[in-house]
Amino acid sequence: MMLLEDISEIVVFLGPFLLLLFVFGVRAMLRTRTYPSLLVLSCLGIFTLLAMFLTGAFRTGETARACLFIYPYLLLPVAVCLHRAGGASQQRKRLLAVVFAQSVAMQTLGGYFW
């Protein structure tokens, strides 16, 4: 059960909007074979963290520290997706506002122990 909790912690704090852009970015990178080094780097980061989860290196609640280091690897495909979309600055501002609103809502409504 701890592996599921560890992975769900990453997904919850990444958020639905960035998770969707992550999936679109990975699919675009695989389909067009662009930025292969970024895809390999992202996969290596994710597989390294999953290996630590599988070995039981972290207990529930201790994963937050390790998860801080995985988010840059998760944001590489997001950056590729945004770059390929060539979105206007208005779209990027809207995404920024939605992600900020999600962060505020999670901090306000969530009972997190910092």
What digits encode the pLDDT tens for the residues 75-96? 899 888 888 877 677 777 778 8
User: In this structure, which amino acid lies at residue 46?
Assistant: I
Spatial neighbors of 85 by CB under 8 A, at least 6 apart, are 91
User: In this structure, which amino acid lies at residue 84?
Assistant: R
Q: Which residue has the higher pLDDT, 63 or 53?
A: 53
Q: What is this structure's pTM?
A: 0.74
Longest dimension (CA), the chain: 44
The fraction of the chain above a pLDDT of 90, given in percent, is 6
Mean pLDDT confidence for 42-60: 83
| E strand spans, the chain | none
User: In this structure, which amino acid lies at residue 102?
Assistant: Q
- Residue 58's pLDDT is 74
- What residue spans define the domains of the chain? 2-86
